[in-house]
Amino acid sequence: MSIAVGIDLGTSNSCVAMVKDGETLVFADSEGRRTQPSVVAFGYGSSVVVGPRARRQLVHAPESTVSSVKRLIGRRYDSPEVERFKAQTAYGIAEGDTGDARVRIQGKVMSAPEISAHVLRHMRRIAEESLGEQVTQAVITVPAYFNDAQRQATRDAATIAGIECLRIINEPTAAALAYGFRQGKRQHIAVYDLGGGTFDVSILRIDDDLFEVIATSGDTFLGGDDFDYLVGDRFLAAFEKETGLSVSDNRTVRLKLRDAAERAKIALSNAEEVEVGVQALYRSPQGREYDFRTKVDRYLYASWVMPLIDRTLTVCNEALSAASMTTRTVDHVLLVGGMTRYPLVREAVARHFGKAPNTSVNPDEVVAIGAAIQASNLTATSVSASVLLDVTPQSLSVRTIGGYCEVLIPRNSAIPTEASRVFNTAWDDQTEVRVAVYQGGSRLAEENELLGQFVLDNLPPLPRGQIRVRITFEIDADGIVHVRAVDDKVGLARSIRIEARAGMSQEEIESARFDDLNF
């Protein structure tokens, strides 16, 4: 019998869970850790280490250790997000053949799904070691704001890891499943998810077993990492001021200070004031070693990071207005993500929504638990499963003349959904129609994400307007876009071709598949 788990494939940490005999179970590694750093470290030759050991390598060999690869997954190399990310990483970022952002380690170029596959395999092994049985299927979660390419790339990662991906679900939806499990009450909830790399907020309506996401909003570049980089930079400025040195372009120094900032943040969750110390932070060319030492209290920390927390609240308001709701009409606020352990975040959320957030499920595990519940629903033989209705986070549109976008499927439409549009030839003897499909909220095509170009070719030469092709765009339950063309007259249904889609080809995915899957 196949075993299906739920995997929260997080930017900084991942977690794996399952429903066993009606109870949810979060798997721990041999040392009792219930979450694992999503870090992949490459050693000499073919050795690859994932999890806590890889996290430790981050400081010593940052150029061969990949963290936060979720920030690259499904993104184009030339996107502004990748440009921003490059400034923060010590490992190389290269352009793939199809324009996707890839990782370069020790001269070897690897796709983001390949790196994520290492994390997925690691999580799968933790579950297998604990169960003593093979795990073959999983429900995997992604931020609600992930677009088609990012969802597809996550699926590719599962394939490479030899996992059958039953369903991709949104992280806030999973959290709501974990909370709403067997509650059966009608309520509106806001899921505030501040993790290591991304911020998402979703407004959900739960009615009996029906979970409906009515609006989502988010910022893919706002998370705990940003707090740590910001505070690490404050430490750097203090260090430079104290020593008169100029070390801001030293990556190792920055990483050590970023690490110190994270430790300080976690310690400040439980203490009013903490001491920060980094031994041998910097060694000068003359061989002199410099330590770093300072004190931070909650008040000072708040003065640094409050603008970041305020940004999350602005995003909350956007989601509320998209759902035609106010903070008062929200019944519960659920907290997800490691950063929501920080008291300042909890206080700010409580003040903003005018109610104390619900924290009864561990914010690090809640998403994996929800994914496990959905995995159990999808594989259940009895029909007690919760129905999950989700929405598309971004509008799907086609480019029209003048570089504008015509929306076909508006954001926040319930999925699965489809829409179709008829395209005509614009001039005589036109043998090809190109349709550029975009995802995003702008009226201007160039401000949105190009999903792909669909080309209908080999059209018979006829006067303009005589060929009418109906193209149907479908967004499936995973949030992945499919396109089909239908034309009764010329039978074009099979001649649709997809171009300009960044990511891995089917052959590439197959050849990247790990060959050690049967163990």
Task: Establish whether 233 is a catalytic residue.
Answer: no
* The one segment of 69-77, 209-217, 260-268, 326-334 that binds ligand AMP by CB under 6 A: 260-268
Reduced to 3 states, what is the DSSP secondary structure of residue 477?
coil
* The one segment of 10-18, 53-61, 167-175, 372-380 that binds ligand AMP by CB under 6 A: 10-18
Q: Out of 4, 9, 12, 175, which residue is the one contacting ligand AMP (CB under 6 A)?
A: 12
Task: Give how far the C-alpha of residue 297 lies from the chain's centroid of Cα atoms, to the nearest Å.
Answer: 32
Choosing from 128, 171, 219, 487, the catalytic residue is 171
Cα distance between residue 124 and residue 491, in whole Å = 45
Reduced to 3 states, what is the DSSP secondary structure of residue 72?
coil
Tokens of 443: 């009226």
CB of 304: closest distance to ligand AMP in angstroms?
A: 14
Cα distance between residue 261 and residue 241, in whole Å = 18
CB of 14: closest distance to ligand AMP in angstroms?
A: 8
Binding mask 214-233 toward ligand AMP (x if CB under 6 A, else -) reads ----------xx--------
Task: Establish whether 291 is a catalytic residue.
Answer: no
Closest CA to 422 of 492, 332, 351: 492
Total interface residues for ligand AMP by CB under 6 A: 18
11 binds ligand AMP (CB under 6 A): yes
CB of 363: closest distance to ligand AMP in angstroms?
A: 7
440 binds ligand AMP (CB under 6 A): no
- Sequence-distant (6+) residues with CB within 8 A of 197 are 10, 11, 12, 68, 70, 71, 220, 221, 223, 224, 225
Task: Establish whether 86 is a catalytic residue.
Answer: no
Q: Out of 100, 156, 219, 262, which residue is the one contacting ligand AMP (CB under 6 A)?
A: 262
Q: Which is nearer to ligand AMP, 261 or 459 (CB)?
A: 261
Query: Can you give the C-alpha Rg of the chain in angstroms?
Result: 24
Cα distance between residue 458 and residue 445, in whole Å = 27
Choosing from 100, 128, 193, 449, the catalytic residue is 193
CB of 11: closest distance to ligand AMP in angstroms?
A: 5
Task: Establish whether 428 is a catalytic residue.
Answer: no
Q: Which is nearer to ligand AMP, 346 or 411 (CB)?
A: 346
Closest CA to 363 of 67, 8, 70: 8
Q: Which is nearer to ligand AMP, 74 or 224 (CB)?
A: 224
Tokens of 327: 């903070």
**Residue 22 in contact with residue 29, Cβ under 8 Å?**
no
Q: Which is nearer to ligand AMP, 12 or 217 (CB)?
A: 12
- Sequence-distant (6+) residues with CB within 8 A of 517 are 162
Q: Out of 269, 359, 417, 442, which residue is the one contacting ligand AMP (CB under 6 A)?
A: 269
- Sequence-distant (6+) residues with CB within 8 A of 321 are none
* The one segment of 109-117, 236-244, 265-273, 293-301 that binds ligand AMP by CB under 6 A: 265-273
Cα distance between residue 303 and residue 41, in whole Å = 35
266 binds ligand AMP (CB under 6 A): yes
68 binds ligand AMP (CB under 6 A): no
CB of 218: closest distance to ligand AMP in angstroms?
A: 14
Q: What is the DSSP string of 30-89?
A: TT--SSEE--EEE-STT-EEESHHHHHHHHH-GGGEE--GGGTTT-BTTSHHHHHHHTT-
DSSP H or E run through 99: none
- Residue closest to ligand AMP (Cβ): 224
**Residue 125 in contact with residue 119, Cβ under 8 Å?**
no
Q: Which is nearer to ligand AMP, 201 or 405 (CB)?
A: 201
CB of 311: closest distance to ligand AMP in angstroms?
A: 15
**Residue 40 in contact with residue 56, Cβ under 8 Å?**
no
CB atoms within 10 A of CB 242: 12
Task: Give how far the C-alpha of residue 437 lies from the chain's centroid of Cα atoms, to the nearest Å.
Answer: 22
Reduced to 3 states, what is the DSSP secondary structure of residue 392?
coil
- Sequence-distant (6+) residues with CB within 8 A of 329 are 188
* The one segment of 76-84, 211-219, 263-271, 353-361 that binds ligand AMP by CB under 6 A: 263-271
The residues in 321-350 that bind ligand AMP, with binding defined as CB under 6 A, are 337-339, 341-342
What is each CA distance from 340 to 181, 210, 224, 362, in whole angstroms? 22, 26, 9, 10
Q: Out of 113, 195, 370, 440, which residue is the one contacting ligand AMP (CB under 6 A)?
A: 195
Q: Which is nearer to ligand AMP, 25 or 344 (CB)?
A: 344
156 binds ligand AMP (CB under 6 A): no
> Can you give the length of the chain in residues?
519
Q: Out of 102, 118, 256, 265, which residue is the one contacting ligand AMP (CB under 6 A)?
A: 265
Q: Which is nearer to ligand AMP, 162 or 337 (CB)?
A: 337
CB of 136: closest distance to ligand AMP in angstroms?
A: 26
Tokens of 396: 């799907």
Reduced to 3 states, what is the DSSP secondary structure of residue 498?
strand
Burial 338-347 (b: 16+ CB within 10 A, else e): bbbbbebbbe
Binding mask 353-372 toward ligand AMP (x if CB under 6 A, else -) reads -----------x--------
CB of 111: closest distance to ligand AMP in angstroms?
A: 22
Q: Which is nearer to ligand AMP, 143 or 479 (CB)?
A: 143
CB of 226: closest distance to ligand AMP in angstroms?
A: 9
Total H helices, total E strands in the chain: 11, 28
Choosing from 8, 29, 225, 365, the catalytic residue is 8
Q: Just list the catalytic residues.
A: 8, 70, 171, 193
> Which residues of this protein are in contact with ligand AMP, per CB under 6 A?
10-13, 195-196, 224-225, 262, 265-266, 269, 337-339, 341-342, 364
